[in-house]
Amino acid sequence: MGYGSTTAASADVKFNFELALRAARDLHALSRRVTSGQQARADAAGLARPDWEGPKRDSFDTKVRNEDTTATNVAEGLVALANAFASQWAKARGEQDRINFARYVDKEVNDDSWGENAVEYFSGEDDYGSPPGDPPVPSAPGYAATRQPMYPEFGP
């Protein structure tokens, strides 16, 4: 039995679910370290400014602004990458759960007795419901799994 392109015969999703969420947590933590390090450098730069004038001060201010912009871009990029890992986790978890569900339904249909098959010939196959959708995307900073695997006896 299949749902869209997902069937009981579909191959398992090749995705390291735990590693993806661990990477998202680590990337988010790194973004916080970049931000706090930049704040410390900005605070230190403020100590150098009193009574400093001239072209060297102007050059210094430009470099501090550029560094701040770069650090902000790096921190935002790390968070975006962390969120991408979390988003892909949700898509992969949903796809694997749909495969597992199709395998579960296939097993249930194959396990029907001849009597049940006779009744279902007239009344229709048991309604197993719709296949599961994707789980919610894990969020920062913890990026915890938002759903456990469904029908884990049929796949990862």
State residue 1's pLDDT score: 45
107-134: burial string, b at 16+ Cβ within 10 Å, e else:
eebeeeeeeeeeeeeeeeeeeeeebbeb
Structure letter (DSSP) for residue 143: -
Rounded distance between C-alpha atoms, residue 91 and residue 12, angstroms: 13
State residue 6's pLDDT score: 86
pLDDT digits (tens, 9 = 90+) for 42-77: 999 999 899 899 999 999 999 999 999 999 999 999
Q: Could you give the C-alpha distances from 96 to 14, 75, 131, 148, in angstroms and in order?
A: 9, 32, 11, 11
Domain layout of the chain by residue ranges: 15-154
**What's the predicted TM-score (pTM) here?**
0.84
pLDDT digits (tens, 9 = 90+) for 83-137: 999 999 999 999 999 999 999 998 988 887 777 666 666 666 667 889 999 999 9
